[in-house]
Amino acid sequence: MSEFDLISRYFSTKFPQRSDVDLSIGDDAAICTVPPNMQLVTAIDTLVADVHFPLTTKPEDIGYKALAVNLSDIAAMGATPVWMTLALTCPEFNEIWLQRFSDGLLELARLNQVSLIGGDTTRGPLTITIQITGLVPLNTALKRNGANPGDSIYVTGTLGDAGLGLQVAKQQVVLSTLAKKYTLSRLNRPTPRLQIGQKLLKIATSAIDISDGLVADLGHILNFSNVGASLQIDNLPLSDELLESVPYETAIELALTAGDDYELCFTTPESEVLFIDSCTYIGKIEPDLGLRCVTKTSDIFIPKANGYQHF
Ligand code: ADP
Ligand code: MG
């Protein structure tokens, strides 16, 4: 099979077609139409084998996750995803692997009506880069720099599950069958919070997606907004599966510092968030710089690790 056959078989016809794509895969570049009064929101994320996912990860999960992590960035901006490009580097031409990888990618692309409008295919160590483009009404996108003292801090979903899932995938812990299945799916198939992000456009003063751990990512909001915060440790949303699998202190540690959850953390003036499901209040923005973790008994809690850093 030639490179062109490969592209058309796995990455062309099956993907959602959108009327705003004027020229898709096949030419030197793609052409798309941007609606009036909208801004483009662009993000890119790379998954490197053995760095971002264990080598044992199923190809369909790699495809799903490669798009999910990009959609999560779009969600954190409050935008709606529309187009993506895919740079795929793989060590060999393996039809079964390509079929399964593209099936996983396709599943999430279909759910969100994202078109695959181009890419690049090369030989080398397994690496997947997706560039995603979203649309947002002019000057409404959520950013990291708008948090104000007095704002409440919220997170979506539950935290720490993917961190435990990574330990499961690396065979560092043994869990019940149900907890294993749940935490692995949280690691391999994170849910980008797109609908919530879009609802936050009129409500949130800042937002970020949690890819490197709550402490690290909330830290970015605090730095960009030039504020501090106190976090109510007892309020952190923890899943039953996490709580049944590890001691409470370990669950808290994972929730604060493990990456890969891809939940949203956002700030908003008090009480406006009642309209939004599956969000938990976790603390307050304060004028004093720095992050203070406090428990019900007001003990100061200091997490052992910070977020994941490549360098
Ligand atoms: P060029 O040599 O002009 O850069 P290529 O031969 O790399 O073009 O690719 C031919 C066409 O196939 C282009 O439209 C490109 O966007 C698309 N393409 C290549 N690889 C992929 C991929 N993995 N996924 C989606 N589209 C791809
Ligand atoms: Mg060209």
Report CA(27)–ligand 2 centroid distance (Å): 7
Between the CA of 85 and the centroid of ligand 2 the distance, in Å, is 15
What is the number of the ligand closest to the CA of 27? 1
As a whole number, mean pLDDT of residues 198-227 equals 96
Residue type at position 58: K
The CATH number of whichever domain residue 122 belongs to comes to 3.30.1330.10
In a domain? residue 34: yes
Q: What is the CATH number of the domain that holds 187?
A: 3.90.650.10
User: Does residue 310 belong to any structural domain of this protein?
Assistant: no
Same domain, 68 and 110: yes
User: Is the domain of 55 the same as that of 179?
Assistant: no
Nearest atom within ligand 1 for CA of residue 120: 20
Could you report the per-residue pLDDT of 127-166, keeping only the tens digit for each?
999 999 999 999 999 999 999 999 999 999 999 999 999 9
pTM of the full predicted structure? 0.95
Q: What pLDDT, on a 0 to 100 scale, did the predictor assign at position 5?
A: 84
266 and 166 within one domain: yes
Q: Rounded to the nearest whole angstrom, what is the distance from the C-alpha of residue 102 to the centroid of ligand 2?
A: 23
What local confidence, expressed as pLDDT, does residue 308 receive? Answer: 55
90 and 185 share a domain? no
Q: Look at residue 300 and tell me if it is in a domain.
A: no
The count of domains in the chain is 2
Tell me the chain's radius of gyration from C-alpha atoms.
20
Ligand closest in space to the Cα of 26: 1
Ligand whose nearest atom lies closest to the CA of 11? 1
Q: Which of 167-176, 212-221, 234-243, 288-297 has the lowest mean pLDDT?
A: 288-297
Q: Ligand 1, residues 3, 4, 7: which to mutate, most atoms within 8 A of Cβ?
A: 7
Q: Which atom of ligand 1 is nearest to the CA of 118?
A: 16
In terms of domains, do 132 and 78 share one?
yes
- pLDDT at residue 296 in the model: 83
Does the residue 244 lie in any domain? yes
Q: Based on the domain organization, do 274 and 199 belong to the same domain?
A: yes
- Check: CB of residue 291 under 8 Å from CB of residue 222: yes
List all residues whose CB is within 6 A of at least one atom of ligand 1.
7, 11, 25-28, 86, 88, 116, 118-121
Phi (first) and psi of residue 47, to 5 degrees? -110, 120
Per the prediction, the chain carries an average pLDDT of 94
Q: Do 49 and 160 belong together in one domain?
A: no
Q: In the predicted model, is pLDDT for residue 298 greater than 80? A: no
Over residues 90-101, the pLDDT tens digits come to 999 899 999 999
Please check whether residues 193 and 266 belong to one and the same domain.
yes
Domain that holds residue 108: 3-137
- Output the residue whose Cα is nearest ligand 1's atom 10: 26
Domain contains 142: no
Each residue's pLDDT tens digit, 103-133:
999 999 999 999 999 999 999 999 999 999 9
Residue 93 and residue 164 in one domain: no
- Signed CA dihedral, 43, 48, 53, 58: sign only: positive
Q: Kindly state whether residues 265 and 159 are assigned to the same domain.
A: yes
Atom of ligand 1 nearest to the CA of 121: 20
Q: Rounded to the nearest 10 degrees, how much is the dihedral formed by the CA atoms of 56, 61, 67, 71? A: -110
306 belongs to a structural domain: no
**96 part of a folded domain:** yes
User: Where would I find the H helices in the chain?
Assistant: 3-11, 59-76, 95-112, 161-169, 177-188, 194-199, 214-225, 240-245, 248-257
Residue 230 belongs to some domain of the structure: yes
Does 96 lie in the same domain as 173?
no
Q: Tell how strand 115-123 and strand 279-286 pair up.
A: unpaired
Residues 132, 157: one domain? no
